[in-house]
Amino acid sequence: MIEVLGRRNSANVQKVMWTLGELGIDYRREDVGGSFGYPAGYPNPVQVVPTLRDGDLVVWESNACVRYLARRYGAGSLWPDDEPARTCADMWMEWQRSDIAFAFFPLFQMLVRGLPSTPEKIERSVAGCTAAFTQLDDALHGRSYICGEALTVADIAIGAMMYRYMTLPIERPALPALQAWYERLCARPAYRKHVMIEYGSNLDQWNALEKANAGLQ
């Protein structure tokens, strides 16, 4: 059975869990990282979560885990057969890792996880998110998902952060195509189960919720 090592409240772990959910694959998740720490022999050279084990194969880096699962178990769906759609999905995954992660992760850390902040820093991060999500909104016009009419790995990599972006107490521009896409994600049972997870509004709440999530699959 596939094993996922990583705490349930990590957005990078959530990408992997959501992928497993979409593909209907059995898994076992173990709480690692954050307040759970790292077991001796944790098989990831950079000591972060997630790490995935499928038999003898170990995969780390969340987007690589998503791609691995999609290639191996979701070829023709999450990993499209069609070359233009597959390349589109790959490009947007790279964009998630660079542009979106750069703008969004510090914002989340400052607003929820107690990273020291100033109003200027928060304003800069919000502006970075606005610019990036406006680009995504443009790309979503006239389509249901990022690369066409079907969910792909691109939607998973980026969508895993959307719940937080859409629920943080920040100003967001009106972006109708992005909003409609987010609502489509929210209608998916695997997204609701693995991504739409309460995260609190300060570090104490974050930590309490992390413990409350322990052991949940």
Ligand X SMILES: N[C@@H](CCC(=O)N[C@@H](CS)C(=O)NCC(=O)O)C(=O)O
Under 8 Å between Cβ of 18 and 194: yes
Q: Which of 2, 4, 11, 154 binds ligand X (CB under 6 A)?
A: 11
**3-class DSSP state of 150:** coil
Q: Which stretch binds ligand X (CB under 6 A): 9-17, 121-129, 144-152, 185-193?
A: 9-17
| Interaction between residue 103 and ligand X (CB under 6 A) | no
| Interaction between residue 17 and ligand X (CB under 6 A) | no
| Interaction between residue 152 and ligand X (CB under 6 A) | no
Q: Which of 12, 96, 125, 152 binds ligand X (CB under 6 A)?
A: 12
Q: Which of 3, 23, 30, 61 binds ligand X (CB under 6 A)?
A: 61
Under 8 Å between Cβ of 7 and 213: yes
Q: Which stretch binds ligand X (CB under 6 A): 8-16, 78-86, 146-154, 173-181?
A: 8-16
Q: Give me the residue whose beta carbon is nearest to ligand X.
A: 33
Q: Which stretch binds ligand X (CB under 6 A): 5-13, 80-88, 119-127, 149-157?
A: 5-13
Nearest to 155 by CA among 121, 123, 186, 122: 186
**3-class DSSP state of 79:** strand
> What is the dihedral angle through the alpha carbons of 94, 101, 12, 22, rounded to the nearest 10 degrees?
-60
Beta-carbon contacts of 156 under 8 Å, excluding residues fewer than 6 positions away, are: 15, 18, 19, 22, 66, 78
Smallest distance from ligand X to CB 81, Å: 26
| Interaction between residue 19 and ligand X (CB under 6 A) | no
Binding site for ligand X (CB under 6 A): 7, 10-12, 33-34, 48-50, 61-62
